[in-house]
A and B are shown apart, each in its own frame.
Chain A
Amino acid sequence: MAAGLAVIYLPLLLVLINSLNRDRSFAWPPTGLTTEWWARAWQSEGARSALLTSLRAGAGATLVALVLGTMTAFAVQRYRFFGRHAVSFVVILPIALPGIVSGIALNAAFRTVLGPAGIGFGLLTVVIGHATFCIVVVFNNVIARLRRLSPSAEEASADLGADSFQTFRYVTLPAVRAALLAGGLLAFALSFDEIVVTTFTAGPGVQTLPLWIYANLARPNQAPVVNVVAAVLVLLSVIPVYLAQRLSADTAGGRL
Chain B
Amino acid sequence: MERLVPVAPQNPTAKDRARVDWVHPFEQQTGCKVNTKIAGTSDEMVSLMKTGQYDAVSASGDATLRLIAAGDVAPVNTGLVPNYADIYPGLKNQPWNSVDGRMYGIPHGRGANLLMYRTDKVSPAPDSWSVVFDGASAYSGHVTAYDSPIYIADAALYLMKTRPELGIKNPYALDDAQLKAAVDLLKTQHQAIGEYWSDYQKSENSFKTGDTVVGTTWQVIANMAQTDQAPVQAVLPKEGATGWSDTWMVSSKAAHPDCAYQWMNWIVSPKVNAQVAQWFGEAPSNAKACDQTTDKNFCTTFHAADDAYWKNVYYWTTPIKNCLDGRGATCTDYAAWTAAWTEIKG
By a beta-carbon cutoff of 8 Å, the part of chain A in contact with chain B is 23-28, 31, 39-41, 43-47, 111, 120-121, 203-205, 212, 214-223, 225
Contact = CB atoms under 8 A, between A and B. Distances in A.
Contacts of A221: 224
Interface string B23-55: 000000000000111101000000000010110
Contact of B228 (A23, A121, A218): A23
Interface residues of B, number: 31
Given A218-B200, A219-B201, A24 B11 contact: no
Contacts, number: 82
A57 to B, nearest CB: 16
B208 interface: yes
A215 B224 contact: no
Contacts of B230: 25, 27
Nearest to B224: A220
A116 to B, nearest CB: 12
A31 B208 CA distance: 12
B289 interface: no
Contacts of A46: 10-12
Contact of A217 (B11, B36, B37, B201): B201
Contacts of A28: 209
11 contacts: A24-B224, A25-B224, A27-B228, A39-B13, A43-B13, A44-B13, A45-B11, A204-B53, A205-B37, A218-B2, A219-B201
Contact of B51 (A31, A43, A121): A121
Nearest to B38: A215
B238 interface: no
Contact of B11 (A25, A220, A222): A222
B229 interface: yes
The 6 closest A-B pairs by CB, nearest first: A218-B199, A44-B11, A46-B11, A205-B35, A43-B13, A46-B10
Interface in B172-205: 199-202, 204-205
Contact of A218 (B35, B51, B201, B229): B201
A25 B207 CA distance: 10
B150 interface: no
A225 B228 CA distance: 16
Interface of B: 2, 5, 10-15, 35-38, 40, 51, 53-54, 199-202, 204-205, 208-209, 221, 224-225, 227-230
Contacts of B202: 218
A19 B23 CA distance: 28
Contact of A203 (B11, B53, B200, B209): B53
A150 B2 CA distance: 59
A47 B11 contact: yes
Contacts of A27: 205, 208-209, 228, 230
B200 A31 contact: no
Contacts of A25: 201, 204-205, 208, 224-225, 228, 230
A27 B40 CA distance: 24
B224 A121 contact: no
Contact of A204 (B5, B204, B208): B5
A246 to B, nearest CB: 35
Contacts of B11: 40-41, 44-47, 212, 216, 222, 225
A27 B232 CA distance: 15
B51 A223 contact: no
A120 B53 contact: yes
B51 A45 contact: no
A220 B201 contact: yes
A40 B10 CA distance: 12
B205 A26 contact: yes
A28 B205 CA distance: 10
Nearest to B229: A31
Contacts of B13: 39-40, 43-44
A47 to B, nearest CB: 6
